[in-house]
Amino acid sequence: MAMLLFRWAVMALLLVAAVSFAFYAGTGNPRFKRLGMVVLKWTVIATAFFFAVLLISRLG
């Protein structure tokens, strides 16, 4: 259940980042680029942390 919830959350965050980059491409407003980069950065960090915990729990 947790894996399904995590998968949906990651997909939603990646969609938010993609829409933000699309808005940046359409408007040229750097605020959207900055928002997309922040969302993408924290999505990658959260994903790496999640899989590290998953790996540690499997090994231990």
- What is the tens place of the pLDDT at every residue in 4-52? 898 999 999 999 999 999 999 999 999 999 999 999 999 999 999 999 9
- In this predicted structure, the answer to whether residue 3 has a pLDDT above a threshold of 90 is no
Q: State residue 19's pLDDT score.
A: 98
In angstroms, the CA 27 to CA 15 distance is: 18
- In this predicted structure, the answer to whether residue 2 has a pLDDT above a threshold of 90 is no
Percent composition of the chain: helix, strand, coil (DSSP 3-state, to 5): 95, 0, 5
How many other C-beta atoms lie within 10 A of the C-beta of residue 51? 11
Q: State residue 15's pLDDT score.
A: 97
Q: What's the pLDDT band for 1 if we cut at 50, 70, 90?
A: confident
The type of residue at 6 is F
